Structure 1
Amino acid sequence: MINLLEVAKHSSADSCWVVLHGRVYDVTDFLNDHPGGSAAIMALAGKDATEVYDPIHPPGLLEQYLKPEAYLGVLSKTAGQPVDCQLPSACKSPDVSLSSLLNLAEIEQVAKSKLSSKGWAYYSSATDDNITKMNNHLIYQSILLRPRVFIDCRECNLSTEFLGLKIGLPIYISPAAMARLAHPVGEAGIAAACRRFQAMQIISHNASMTPQQIVANSQPGQVFGWQLYCLKDVQQSERRIAEINSIDSVKFICLTLDAPFPGKREIEERQKMEEMRAAGVHGAPQVWGTDASLTWEKTLQWLRRHTSLPVILKGIQTYEDAALAAKYPQVRGIVLSNHGGRALDTVSTPVHVLLEMRWYCPEVFDKLDIIVDGGIMRGTDVVKALALGAKAVGIGRAALYGLAAGGQEGVERTLQILADETATAMRLLGVRRVDQLSLQHINTRGIESQIFDSDTVIRGSSSSSETCSKAKF
């Protein structure tokens, strides 16, 4: 048995002990390898870190990263109370009736009042001046809708297909990390909400629960994907892929390409600096474990050797890369995404990329299933993206805000609002089914001047090249 005073003695740069779930660990050798930087651990050195650790990390992660000898023993229960290092409660504000929240902006405000400062900083932050994050939503307001009349629209069917899989909504949950910062039910709560709507969920590579926990109560036909970050530690990536291959509920792998290096997210950085300062430690550079050396041929061949699951590529931001993706048989779909504005600021929005594709390589829409994420706040946003050719739209922050506002029920309320708004927009457009939405229902002239205008040659990794002809619609 180890008492807390003994643990506290080992809180220096030369020796770092922490307590997790009543067990004492020596994490000194792991300091330089921690993805969040050594300062994040040093702030908890000599303390009970359970309340900080749990919302961020899935079970079993310690055993994966620490050597067996790092476990030192059990904390003595007679050693007094542990040092208070808990995160602020996620339920400080008075309860609000979820039914009284009428739009996603109102859900976000309730979430902000309930989230810890750490949670809000992580979820809300974007890169540099937040221009891309803002434009992801504002771009939809520049597209006008064109309703058709004298159409019987008493019935409205929101179901659709992705990769040949039937889903109940053209709205899916984008991969977003650390859901238990919002609510203890975490990603499993999001999955339960999706179950009610038969909505698709892409599980984050950095989820705060294991994939098995997330899909444990899924119903037959419920569709999950899994986000893959290719890590510098290739063997670790291969182990994760093998684990995913064994989970029947996971139907595809979503390879993320838009964040080979972290963006400068100042809200999050400032919050971390305040945490470090309060703990009396100096910050250290974050360790970024993602492999930045990925290439079309090398990476897709490697992935093909390790999984037979369909692959979709997340983070396509130009028509050239969309056209290249269509050349690889293993690639079944793409996600037009700029990482929610969290990677490179002032890049094109997914709407811009959809329009580029319409102009330069419309044939890709027949070869790949295309989905988009970023900036969706209204049902009118949903129908505009679908009219441009997307199969479905993803929500990331909105799902986390719903989770913070009311757990599983909060996510259900988020999906219900978007589903109702989408159905209303479809009816008013004279559309009864998702696949009936088309270019005739939108006017994009207000943003066409922003579309990349060039006869750029698409150059692949091979010696051959292809030029997509411009074909305005």
Structure 2
Amino acid sequence: MAKTYTYDEVQQHRSSDSCWVVLYGNVYDVTKFLPSHPGGSKIILQLAGTEATEEYDPIHPPGTLEDSLSAEAKLGLFDASTLPRQELSPEQTGTPGKSPAQEQAEELGPETLDECLNLDDLEALATRKISRKAWGYYYSAGDDLISKKKNNTVYSQILMRPRIFVDCTQCSTATTILGQKVSVPFFVSPAAMARLGNPAGEHGIAQACGTYGALQIISNNASQTPEQVVEGSKPDQVFGWQLYVQNERKKSEDMLARIHKLPQIKFICLTLDAPVPGKREHDERTSNVSSNLAVRSSVQQGSASKTSPHPEQKSGHEKTDRLEENIEAGNAGDGGVGKALFAGTAPDLTWKTTLPWLAKHTHLPIVLKGLQTHEDAYIASLYAPQVKGIILSNHGGRAMDTAPPSIHTLLEIRKYCPEVLSRLEVFVDGGIKRGTDIVKALCLGAKGVGLGRAPLFGLGAGGVEGVERTLEILKAEVETAMRLLGVEKVEDLKPHHVNARTVERDIFDGVEAPALEKAGLWVKSKL
């Protein structure tokens, strides 16, 4: 019979020399695993001697324990009745402190999916329901959130040009992406950790995409395995898979071999806009508070956790509050969920080395994600046909703050090297809040438009039905916009349907690209 351990017994093993954790009602000795943990040993040590299931489960795909630990590491059962009051699960003690944004959403936001009329409503509903840690990870962006806010606001500066006396009874949102038929011109961008918001996870998002014929790019850091995500998908459902190349190339090569066994996955999306993690302070603050609640050190016991201010409700002492909060959590300078996910990601990728390496290990088409200048878009076009498409993206504002919104880069391409639009399929993501935003991007030459936070918040708001509601709202808004423009088909959306002059004044101007010119790669387009 397996031995049963008490809380006090587990608490004796909280160091790098002897590190125990409790997961799913079992006690594990993870001491030998500490040096090889992809997120670093410190993350595990913060939870040493505690019931860590709540922290572990949403982040790790099922089967991770069995793959990572030897059978001997499982020591026995855990007696949950011995947990002190402060170590009980949220179901037993109530939800730990919520952020001001979550409290505000409870007062002002919709209460059901039926009451959600737009993506902001769905985000407000999700904010009420998901954990503080999930909200911090989903909401967060780099530094002062300037790029994130610009992503959201730039579309409002582009005006529509509706036409009259046009029969608008017929309208189809169907199109193709990389030669694959889809029912809507928008897709789910790779966004990690869906199970932080709802147990249905990325598989739940896939179910909703199947209902609406939408493409889904599976995150390299998904909280479920690719096999689990595509399980039960419809025969004609289309997926891509995101690749973060690892320092240990063999890991990436092995993963590509797994992906090749899944016929639903039609292309590889190589993400390049975050070779190193950005500084996401909302994520760091909420993760520190979560660690504070889980670890319960002697200094922290009995003290109330500070809550992070909503971006629109910052106090005049925000920097002081932030420093005090990190010190109290014992994690000053530590990163959040996002930074932990980047452990092991290779920062040494180049045009000359990475694409040839990738050609040896996959036959699938390549889409490069994260281009933020027309120069890089032009270089990418020279690597066709291996590179089939590019996603203009600033990583949702989560990498370099003050990087341009993707629509700026799209307009740069139109101005300086429009031939790229005929050589590659060009996609954009970041900041999409309305179907009109999608239509504006399509008018300016985008082949499709990616959604990052929206499906995650939809999932948090109502599981699979919440994601379906997200896609339903956007599809209806796209159809309405197309009808008012007098356009029946997605491919008929053209630049003359919008007025982007205000945004054009803000795009990059006046400087040539000397490195490209010197290398003989640059030919300035004639306008």
User: Structure 1 length as normaliser, TM-score?
Assistant: 0.94
Matched residues, percent identical?
51
Aligned to 2:409: 353
Bigger shift: residues 262-271 or 85-94: 85-94
Change in CA separation of 1:16 and 1:85 when aligned onto 2, cut-off 3 Å: farther
Give the alignment partner of residue 296 of structure 1, picking from 328, 331, 351: 351
Q: 1:57 aligns with which of 37, 43, 60?
A: 60
Q: Deviations over 1:394-430 (max 9, x none)?
A: 1111111110111000000010101101100010011
Structure 1 letter corresponding to 2:451: I
Give the C-alpha shift of residue 465 in structure 1: 2.2
Query: Is residue 227 from structure 1 mapped to residue 242 from structure 2 by the alignment?
Result: yes
- Give 2:434's aligned amino acid: R
In the alignment, which residue of structure 1 is the partner of 2:303?
none
**C-alpha distance in 1 between matches for 2:506 and 2:146:** 15
**1:40 maps to 2:43:** yes
> Paired residue for 1:457, among 500, 506, 513?
513
Q: Distance in 2 between matches of 1:106 and 1:196?
A: 21
Name the count of aligned residue pairs: 470
8 A contact 1:143–1:442 mirrored in 2: yes
Equivalent-residue separation in structure 1 for 2:76 and 2:362 (angstroms):
40
Matches within 5 A, 1:64-143: 64-66=67-69, 68=70, 71-76=73-78, 80=82, 83-86=87-90, 88=95, 96-143=111-158
Distance 1:262 1:190, change over 3 A: same
2:30 to 27, 30, 39: 27
Equivalent position SS for 1:188: helix
Map of 1:16 onto structure 2: 19
Q: Is the 8 A contact 2:143 2:401 kept in 1?
A: yes
State the distance in 2 between where 1:396 and 1:158 align. Answer: 20
Aligned residue type for 2:74: L
Kept after mapping to 2: 8 A contact 1:169/1:198: yes
User: Aligned pair 1:312/2:312, yes or no?
Assistant: no
Could you report, residue by residue, the CA deviation over 1:171-221 in whole angstroms, capped at 9, with x for unpaired residues? 111111110111111111100100111100000111111111111011111
Distance 1:35 1:271 in 2: 21
Match of 2:330 in 1: 282
Residue 41 of structure 1: CA displacement? 1.9
Deviations 1:146-172 (A, max 9, x none): 112222110110001011000110111
Contact in 2 for aligned 1:178/1:207 (Cα 8 Å): yes
Question: What amino acid is aligned across from residue 25 of structure 2 in structure 1?
Answer: G
Contact 2:134/2:196 (CA < 8 Å) preserved in 1?
yes
> Partner letter of residue 183 of structure 2?
G
1:250 maps to 265
Unaligned runs of 5+ in 1: none
Q: 1:202 pairs with 207, 217, 223, which one?
A: 217
CA drift of 1:452 comes to 1.0
- Aligned-partner Cα distance in 2 for 1:369–1:22: 49
Q: Distance in 1 between matches of 2:434 and 2:19?
A: 48
Q: Is the 8 A contact 1:455 1:470 kept in 2?
A: no
SS of the aligned residue for 2:505 comes to helix
- How far off its partner does 1:70 sit? 6.1
State how far apart, in whole Å, the 2-side matches of 1:233 and 1:331 are. 23
CA distance in 1, matches of 2:472, 2:193: 23
Deviation, 1:40, is 2.9
Shift of 1:74: 2.5
Q: Which residue of 1 aligns with 2:321?
A: none
Cα pair distance change 1:150/1:297, threshold 3 Å: same
Letter matched to residue 119 of structure 1: A
- Runs (5+) with no aligned partner, structure 2: 298-328
Pairwise CA distance, 1:36: 4.1
* 449-458 or 151-160, which deviates more: 449-458
Could you say if the C-alpha distance between residues 43 and 448 of structure 1 is closer, same or farther in structure 2, counting changes exceeding 3 Å? same
Distance 2:34 2:281 in 1: 23
Q: 2:377 and 2:4 mapped to 1: Cα distance?
A: 57
**Paired position in structure 1 for 2:307:** none
Contact 2:163 2:486 in 1 (8 A): yes
More displaced stretch, 229-238 vs 161-170: 229-238
CA separation of 1:232 and 1:262: change in aligned 2, threshold 3 A:
same
Q: In 2, are the aligned partners of 1:320 and 1:458 still within 8 Å (CA)?
A: no
Greater share of helix: 2
Match among 501, 505, 511 for residue 445 of structure 1: 501
Decide whether the 8 Å contact of 2:27 with 2:75 is kept in 1.
yes
Take 1:188 and 1:357, find their aligned partners in 2: how far apart are those partners?
A: 35
Candidates 479, 491, 496, aligned match of 1:423: 479
In the aligned structure 1, how far is the partner of 2:236 from the partner of 2:508? 40
Please tell me whether the aligned partners of residues 142 and 447 of structure 1 are also in contact (alpha carbons under 8 angstroms). Answer: yes
Counterpart mapping for 1:159-198 below 5 A? 159-198=174-213
Q: Residues 50-100 of structure 1: CA distance to partner in whole angstroms, max 9, x if unpaired?
A: 23211111022234444x266133215587459425584999979933122
Amino acid at match of 1:172: F
Separation in 1 of the partners of 2:199 and 2:514? 47
Query: Alpha carbon RMSD of aligned pairs, Å?
Result: 2.4
Instruction: Give, in angstroms, the shift of residue 289 of structure 1.
Output: 1.7
Inter-CA distance 84–76: structure 2 relative to 1 (3 Å threshold): closer
TM-score (norm 2): 0.84
